[in-house]
Amino acid sequence: MTPPAESCAPDAARPAPSPSPAWGVPVDGWKPLLASRGLPAWRADQILHALYRDFVTSWDAVTTLPKELRSELAREFPLKPCAELDRTESADGTVKLLLGLDDGNSVETVLIPAAGRFTQCISTQVGCAMGCVFCASGSQGLVRSLRADEIIAETMAARAYGTVTNVVVMGMGEPFANYDETMRALKILNAGKGPNLGARHITLSTCGVVPGFARLAAEGIQFELSVSLHAPDDETRSALMPVNRRWPIAELLAACRDYTARTKRIITFEYTVVKGVNDSPECARRLAALLKTLPCKVNLIPLSPVGHRPDFETPPESTMMMFLDVLMKARIQTMLRRSRGKDASAACGQLRLRNLIRSGDDGKTAPLAECLP
């Protein structure tokens, strides 16, 4: 009797599953998935090799698999690469891409070359509900959250420009407001048979969605965690970051303290200095007082001008040096950061905003209250 052709088709008793994009399947999910269809475990290794070593974007290219299996994989586990809709390049080598999703939405990703590393800043949502006033994504509101496979597709789009060594989740969206899909994608990126990106080469950045801290601590994975603080008092922070009204600074720092105690890891605080808003010597002293007993470091960033807030200005160098001096004297490890890609619509959300304005679309938004966990 001729053996049946190798196939991942479900048996007659099982209802046909709806297509599940391949890049969203957890790396350790392929073997049981194929086994349930009577396929050998080594087919899973071939598939993973094709996806994350050869970086195929079409099943047709996986010639190690039988043709019939490739067709069925294409039908049940489609590969959905993002279309590159727009690109801006900065004089410092930073490349910003606008990537099209299959429902017509788009997200941004930024590629940042530096000596010995190639960092990609990825998005987790289309737009963002958090409404940070200096952020172009926040000004657009939330359209929707990304699926894990769409987040992975962003990293696949970067491969045309080089091998990504580091991923920072600091693009459009708040990762803790799309926790499950973000974590699923980061675990795929981190997996040995996936892209195999070390956990310490992956940084999650949150604006302070407090429930996310305990969830991340419970994962037991050594991702880096960065928190956007941007102000040392509730009044200023709430004016800059509406999320602070839900989780004020004391609650946020308690969550940070708990996270560092549970994980034995330090947190990086981002403090964007805005001229005349959060840049006084008193702000610097209060910031030092807040953080001096926390295991942390601070990144001080001069504001990058954003088109939708011409009233927000970059502080002078002397202000940045004053902040640095106050924090260093408090024995807080502090780095002065420069915004990369200033001439490439580099602030988060600017490229998408520019394209929406070009196309006459103002984006569909959801209010903050509907989007917080």
- The answer to whether 355 and 140 have CB atoms below 8 angstroms apart is no
Q: Can 108 be counted among the known catalytic residues?
A: yes
Binding of residue 253 to ligand SF4 (CB under 6 A): no
Site pattern 87..126 for ligand SF4 (x: CB under 6 A)? ----------------------------------------
Q: How far is the CB of 80 from ligand SF4 (least distance, A)?
A: 23
DSSP tag of 307: T
Site pattern 132..151 for ligand SF4 (x: CB under 6 A)? x--x-xx-------------
d(CA 184, CA 265): 21
Q: With CB under 6 A as the contact rule, which of the stretches 96-104, 167-175, 297-305, 317-325 interacts with ligand SF4?
A: 167-175
Q: How far is the CB of 131 from ligand SF4 (least distance, A)?
A: 6
Q: Which residue has the tokens 């991923």?
A: 167
- The answer to whether 224 and 200 have CB atoms below 8 angstroms apart is yes
Query: Which of 8, 353 has the CB closer to ligand SF4?
Result: 353
What's the length of the chain?
A: 373
Q: Which residue has the tokens 């800059």?
A: 240
d(CA 345, CA 124): 19
Query: Which of 153, 204 has the CB closer to ligand SF4?
Result: 204
Binding of residue 175 to ligand SF4 (CB under 6 A): no
DSSP 180-237: HHHHHHHHHHHSTTTT---GGGEEEEES--THHHHHHHHHT---EEEEE---SSHHHH
Query: Which of 108, 149 has the CB closer to ligand SF4?
Result: 108
**Which residue in the list 108, 154, 181, 224 is annotated as catalytic?**
108
Q: How far is the CB of 293 from ligand SF4 (least distance, A)?
A: 26
Q: How many helices (H) and strands (E) would you count in the chain?
A: 14, 12
Q: Can 235 be counted among the known catalytic residues?
A: no
- The answer to whether 144 and 123 have CB atoms below 8 angstroms apart is no
Among 56, 348, 351, 371, binds ligand SF4 (CB under 6 A): 348
Query: Which of 158, 207 has the CB closer to ligand SF4?
Result: 207
d(CA 204, CA 209): 12
Q: What SS3 state is found at 283?
A: helix
Q: How far is the CB of 140 from ligand SF4 (least distance, A)?
A: 9
Q: Which amino acid is at 290?
A: L
- The answer to whether 174 and 124 have CB atoms below 8 angstroms apart is yes
Query: Which of 39, 236 has the CB closer to ligand SF4?
Result: 236
- The answer to whether 111 and 95 have CB atoms below 8 angstroms apart is yes
Q: What SS3 state is found at 28?
A: helix
Q: Which residue has the tokens 């991340």?
A: 216
Binding of residue 353 to ligand SF4 (CB under 6 A): no
Binding of residue 130 to ligand SF4 (CB under 6 A): yes
Query: Which of 99, 130 has the CB closer to ligand SF4?
Result: 130
What would the two tokens of residue 160 be?
């045309």
How crowded is residue 373: how many other Cβ atoms within 10 Å of its Cβ? 12
Q: How far is the CB of 102 from ligand SF4 (least distance, A)?
A: 22
Binding of residue 207 to ligand SF4 (CB under 6 A): yes
Among 44, 128, 148, 249, binds ligand SF4 (CB under 6 A): 128
- The answer to whether 340 and 92 have CB atoms below 8 angstroms apart is yes
What is the total count of residues that contact ligand SF4 (CB under 6 A)? 12
Query: Which of 79, 231 has the CB closer to ligand SF4?
Result: 231
Q: How far is the CB of 353 from ligand SF4 (least distance, A)?
A: 11
Q: Give me the active site residues, please.
A: 108, 348
Binding residues for ligand SF4 (CB under 6 A): 128, 130-132, 135, 137-138, 172-174, 207, 348
